[in-house]
Structure 1
């Protein structure tokens, strides 16, 4: 489910909405990648819609093959851009494009394989 309605949520809802485990979200918090927006009086983590969007971005970057250290850097440069960091931002964009191109090639190969299976299946009927 996408992060859309403006409200806060506990870790369980964030996990449900992003498809990540509670353990993963807690780990992201422990390493400083996703600190809770706030905590309740009882000490429960509370997350915002912005946090939900951030988690979905982290998930996407993980899918592209980036490690958590690089993801942390990417989030930092996008949240705190300045002219001095422009070369690093450009490098990160280039790396993301390479990863995306690789995934697109793998997807095209998967489509071709499935099409070949379907042709075999149709010719055997």
Structure 2
């Protein structure tokens, strides 16, 4: 039974942070991808909802596949490194520049980008 199941999200988050630091020890390939996504999911679920939670939920509900296709790979594999944050910001900027979203969503996405850049800068 893991820390999450035991109701200790702080300990679970520390565990996932340690796992993320050692992802490079996993041989490349499908197993490494699966492990990365599992660790990234653990990191996301043991910290506060990030700024992308609500916008992604809306995009999923609408089936906005072009935007999701660009955003989800860096989002799902994000282990919290600066390089991965930049990859995610780049994907968000690409969607924003393509103007695939309604005006209110464009503004919300711009705000998310600004917030993430503030975290990384």
Which structure: greater strand fraction?
A: 1
TM, length-normalised to structure 1: 0.27
Which has more radius of gyration? 1
Which structure shows the bigger proportion of residues in helix conformation?
Answer: 2
- TM-score normalised by structure 2 residue count: 0.28
